[in-house]
Structure 1
Amino acid sequence: MEFQRQTKRGKEAESKAQRKAEEAEAFAEAAERHAQAQAAGRKKKKVMKRDGDEDEEVERSKLEDEARKATLDAEPPVPPPFMHNLDRAQIALESGNPYEAAAVPLRLAAIRIEGAKNLRPSFLSGLCRPYLDGTLKPDNPLHRLLYSHRLHHTLPGQPTSIPAILALTNSLGQDLTSFDLFSDIAAQLAPAASPSSSSSSSAEDVDVVLRCQEKGRFFLKTSTEVGNGEGNGVVQGRLRNVLGGAESLEGSASIGTKTRKSFALALVSPLFASPDHSVSLSAFAQDRDLTSYASCVEGLRGVRAALSVNAGTLGLHELAYEVQHRHVGRLLPTASMSMRRLAGHTVKSAVSHTVTSDTRDDPFMATEGRLLRLYQEYAGLGGDASHYKVEGEGQVSRAFGRGWAASLSARGGALTTLNGLAPRFSDRFQLGGPVSLRMFRYNGLGPRDGADSLGGDAFWAVGASLLAPIPTRPHWPLKIHTFLNAGQLAQVHGREKGTAWRELGQPSSSFGLGLLYMQSGLRVELNAGLPLTARKGDGHRKGIQLGIGISFL
């Protein structure tokens, strides 16, 4: 019985444990279902909230789009950035389109010169006048004479282009450079500082700006000069811009082998603020040793006033008045009787006119171009010299490739007295020497009395020259040249005309070959040659002859 009771209690305990396990399992399942239900609720709430936010964002975006559209409809569009036409032209030039740059419209507004603090404003205004003043006309002869090519540039306010404005800038820069006042001139184009009120014109208005750096006002130098058969030691001083109008005061003193001593002082001022025209006042004194051909020393003292005008294609004209006191004296003991009669004091008061037209590429060793020069002098406005004197010079040069060039030159002159007296020694012509008629002695042609060359009142000379480069060295300043010269000098006054003209028609001539060297405007010739013909009494020489000078036949 006891065993049955224990068995029964065991089964009840087992049954009770099984029921608890089932209840725990059911509770776990219920808890899991509850957790899943809560998670699903939270997810649903999140989805509903996100959908609401999206709807609200869409609505807000629509409102903003409508407001932005209303603003754009109410305000004008923003214009593009402003660009001056000068910038457009420069961009076209930099990109290699010069024709496109030239098509960009521009207008000259003003000219600004900066850094010229010592020049008078009135002078600068006069300098710029031909580029700015519309009342000056190219077809007016007086205006054309005063301002020449400067009148052909486009005036302010007129449509133009960048090439035309650059040409104006270059012309004005050359004008400033010619006054020798500035060490550096920098040119620039800039949008106008005071443009037109019109918006379309303001994009076209341009200022020409020249920035100048002035030279020192005082200049002093010493030098040695060799030329025309003599050598000199020179001290030269210059004061620039004396009165604020580009005037220059220049003085020089020298001693030399033939010009024993010399002094000169000159004041030069431009006219109408133009480098083409000037007026000058000068005083001078010199003593020249002429004993190498005339057994005397000549002293000159004088003053001179000159007006210089550049007439363009009509040449450079100079009108001058000069008063000279001349003294031919200090004769050598061997001086001839003719030379003694010509010695003494004379005074010349004369007016002269010189016209020069020069298109040569190099005035010292021309290979292209031509030269025409005519000098006329009338003496008799006082003093004891009374004459009319004329002298001319011409040269034509042509190059024909590989450094070869040929030139033809001619000179001539005549003097006639107006008081019936013989010409004064100081007014006569002289001819001969390495710079005028090669292979003849210096001033060795014409009438003579013993060792003295007396000079003449008529002469002529012609020359032909052929220049060739040094083989394999065409760039050297050393050239080979051959020459043929001919000329004659005679005294016509007081002689039978037929005899005098026959003497002029008997040329002395020479031929030779030599070397020609150019250095800093000085021409040096070393020639070997011989006279071909010579009139009796003319001083000629054979062999080697050295010539140093500036102007050669």
Structure 2
Amino acid sequence: FMSVEEEAAQLFQDLEDVPSFISRVHICGSYSTDPKAIRGIVAELKEMLRDTSTAAEVLQSAAAITQSFQGYKIFSQCKTIITKKTEKVLVSGSCEPIAIPVTQNEHNVNELVDIYIDIKEKERQMGGKFEFQHRDHNGTRDVGFSLGFTHYNLHGALETLNGQFFCGMKEISLDTTYNKPFFGHPIFSGLTIQGNAFEENREEQSSFKQRTTKLNGMLETHNGHSLGYEAAFRDVKLKKGVDSQIVLDGGLSLKSSIIHKWKLDGRDDAILPLEGSAITITNELAGLGGDTHFFKQQVDVQHHVPLTESGITANFFSKAGTLFPLWNKKTSVCDRFFLGGPLPLRGFKSNTVGPIHNYDRIGGEVFYSQGAHITFPLPVIDPEILQLHVFTNWGSNVRWESNFARTAAKLINSTRIASGLGFVWRSPIGRLEFNFTKPMRQQENDSTKAWDFSISASF
């Protein structure tokens, strides 16, 4: 007897020999969404739909349309029906289906099919969502509670407006985000505008609190690039009696910068990846007004390789960043790198690896961190929920020296190394790790910890 998977594979193979062409795509259930937006979603797949020539490809095209609609998070369900062109489908509801032609009638009518996508829109306003949440802001990880609202389909063009208040152990913040997709534009795919106000407590490591109010807008392209502008007012409140170099960064500052980001994610899963790669490159140029001048670069790379069919996987990551002061200006503690913590460098407390002056962590201008993991599935337990991993990670964080060679030598010579093992759980709020870690190489003033409990949005 064949298994269900084998029968499905055999059926799909049989369908590859059946000629089929898509005549029309019908979208049903769109009450609030502008028909132009609906047509725009399908238009992005028009080339693939026109090239469809077999029944198997029709199934793949229908799945692609469904995934595209689900990706906007505006729709709570998407059901698919495929029929011959000559057959009619009774559609429930009072909304008239939106019919989108794909191919002309040059094919045999018996080979033409129609695809019906029955969508259900979410309520336009969803408020009062109260939940436990984790945050990762400039390397500072925090947990707390959030209260937020979401307004879907603001003007019927698949826009989303989010507002959220977060109260954690180290941070209090208020965020507002507006996202608008573009349809049919040759370069840009959407616009995101975000306003953010937060207070972050770093008195334990660095003797200051930071209050920030910022506004940024980012234009996203179809190939993973984003380009935008950010303005931020920062107020560094010093702890009473501080006598370290942190005093040089106290007070108000204004950052006005252009940001470019390129992101490519080919992982099969963001939380417990088994295979694939991901890369994010961020460039920021500050100095278009304001009193803050720098050029900042950061690279984040991951690669995941399955080792056995049973689910044993090798995971590798590498992060690096540089912060160059411009026009003889000094860098600020608001912009420097802080290293240490669960994902960047396990075995060391958050934001404690790097330059120190009079017991205060003042941040670095050049950093790197790398790691290698072997992940194992556990007997009986679903590997998509809980896994065991062993790991080693290493990294360093320094200020610029008089030349590049001295900086590189200091970066290498001050490398910290830690190894350990632990459990990784796909929890309802993200990737949760519980690790035992042993620092193998450390500096005199490092803050280490053997047991590590952390929450993050992804690997």
For the pair 1:522 / 2:430, whether they are aligned, the reply is yes
For the pair 1:242 / 2:154, whether they are aligned, the reply is yes
Q: In the alignment, is the contact (CA less than 8 A) between 2:384 and 2:426 conserved in 1?
A: no
How does 1:311-460 map onto structure 2 within 5 Å?
311=223, 316-329=224-237, 331-401=238-308, 402-460=310-368
Query: Structure 1: any 5+ residue segments left out of the alignment?
Result: 1-92, 132-149
For the pair 1:110 / 2:39, whether they are aligned, the reply is no
Query: Structure 2: any 5+ residue segments left out of the alignment?
Result: 1-6, 89-98
How does 1:45-64 map onto structure 2 within 5 Å?
none
Taking structure 1 as reference, are residues 293 and 370 closer, same or farther at Cα in structure 2, changes over 3 Å only?
same
TM-score of the pair, normalised by structure 1: 0.71
What amino acid maps onto 2:73 in structure 1? Answer: D
Residues 350-388 of structure 1 show CA distances to partners (whole Å, capped at 9, x for unaligned) of 111111122222222322111222111111111111111
What amino acid maps onto 1:151 in structure 2? Answer: E
- Structure 2 partner of 1:268: 179
SS in 2 for 1:216: coil
- Cα shift at 1:433: 2.0
CA distance in 2 between counterparts of 1:288 and 1:369 reads 35
For the pair 1:122 / 2:36, whether they are aligned, the reply is yes
SS in 1 for 2:163: strand
SS in 2 for 1:505: helix
Q: In the alignment, is the contact (CA less than 8 A) between 2:193 and 2:217 conserved in 1?
A: yes
SS in 1 for 2:371: strand
SS in 1 for 2:334: helix
- Relative contact order higher in (CA < 8 Å, ≥ 6 apart): 2
CA distance in 1 between counterparts of 2:11 and 2:412 reads 65
- Cα shift at 1:446: 1.3
What amino acid maps onto 1:257 in structure 2? Answer: M
Q: RMSD value over aligned CA atoms?
A: 3.0
Taking structure 1 as reference, are residues 325 and 104 closer, same or farther at Cα in structure 2, changes over 3 Å only?
same
Taking structure 1 as reference, are residues 434 and 166 closer, same or farther at Cα in structure 2, changes over 3 Å only?
closer
What amino acid maps onto 2:182 in structure 1? Answer: L
How does 1:206-225 map onto structure 2 within 5 Å?
206-220=113-127, 221-225=129-133
For the pair 1:226 / 2:134, whether they are aligned, the reply is yes
- Structure 2 partner of 1:306: 218
Taking structure 1 as reference, are residues 186 and 452 closer, same or farther at Cα in structure 2, changes over 3 Å only?
same
CA distance in 1 between counterparts of 2:381 and 2:194 reads 45
Give the counterpart of 2:410 among 478, 483, 503.
503
TM-score of the pair, normalised by structure 2: 0.85
- Cα shift at 1:206: 3.3
What amino acid maps onto 1:386 in structure 2? Answer: H
- Cα shift at 1:125: 2.8
What amino acid maps onto 1:154 in structure 2? Answer: R
Residues 132-186 of structure 1 show CA distances to partners (whole Å, capped at 9, x for unaligned) of xxxxxxxxxxxxxxxxxx523326xxx9443333333222222222122222222
CA distance in 2 between counterparts of 1:248 and 1:110 reads 29
CA distance in 2 between counterparts of 1:186 and 1:368 reads 29
- Cα shift at 1:343: 0.9
Taking structure 1 as reference, are residues 99 and 265 closer, same or farther at Cα in structure 2, changes over 3 Å only?
closer
Q: In the alignment, is the contact (CA less than 8 A) between 1:389 and 1:414 conserved in 2?
A: yes
SS in 2 for 1:283: strand
Which shifted more, 175-184 or 463-472? 463-472
What amino acid maps onto 2:162 in structure 1? Answer: E
Q: How much identity, in percent, do the aligned residues show?
A: 23
- Structure 1 partner of 2:77: 184
CA distance in 1 between counterparts of 2:189 and 2:333 reads 34
- Cα shift at 1:346: 0.8
More strand by share: 2
Q: In the alignment, is the contact (CA less than 8 A) between 2:292 and 2:329 conserved in 1?
A: no
Residues 271-311 of structure 1 show CA distances to partners (whole Å, capped at 9, x for unaligned) of 1169x921112211111111121111111111111111232
Taking structure 1 as reference, are residues 168 and 470 closer, same or farther at Cα in structure 2, changes over 3 Å only?
closer
Give the counterpart of 1:488 among 391, 396, 400.
396
Q: In the alignment, is the contact (CA less than 8 A) between 1:488 and 1:508 conserved in 2?
A: yes
Give the counterpart of 1:283 among 195, 201, 210.
195
Residues 257-278 of structure 1 show CA distances to partners (whole Å, capped at 9, x for unaligned) of 111x21111211111169x921
- Cα shift at 1:130: 4.5
Residues 67-101 of structure 1 show CA distances to partners (whole Å, capped at 9, x for unaligned) of xxxxxxxxxxxxxxxxxxxxxxxxxx99x987776
SS in 2 for 1:293: helix
CA distance in 2 between counterparts of 1:294 and 1:359 reads 37
More helix by share: 1
Taking structure 1 as reference, are residues 249 and 289 closer, same or farther at Cα in structure 2, changes over 3 Å only?
same
CA distance in 1 between counterparts of 2:385 and 2:25 reads 42
Residues 437-494 of structure 1 show CA distances to partners (whole Å, capped at 9, x for unaligned) of 121122111111223100011011111112223355464733322221111111106x
- Cα shift at 1:349: 0.8
Give the counterpart of 1:256 among 165, 168, 176.
168
For the pair 1:154 / 2:62, whether they are aligned, the reply is no
Taking structure 1 as reference, are residues 537 and 186 closer, same or farther at Cα in structure 2, changes over 3 Å only?
same
CA distance in 1 between counterparts of 2:272 and 2:222 reads 24
Q: In the alignment, is the contact (CA less than 8 A) between 1:115 and 1:213 conserved in 2?
A: yes
- Cα shift at 1:248: 0.9
CA distance in 1 between counterparts of 2:444 and 2:394 reads 15
Runs of 4 or more consecutive aligned structure 1 residues displaced over 4 Å after TM superposition? 96-107, 192-205, 471-474, 495-499
- Structure 1 partner of 2:4: none
CA distance in 2 between counterparts of 1:392 and 1:239 reads 33
SS in 1 for 2:65: helix
CA distance in 2 between counterparts of 1:183 and 1:544 reads 40
- Structure 2 partner of 1:139: none
CA distance in 1 between counterparts of 2:251 and 2:123 reads 45
CA distance in 2 between counterparts of 1:189 and 1:97 reads 16
CA distance in 2 between counterparts of 1:197 and 1:118 reads 30
CA distance in 2 between counterparts of 1:185 and 1:304 reads 33
CA distance in 1 between counterparts of 2:19 and 2:405 reads 73
What amino acid maps onto 2:120 in structure 1? Answer: Q
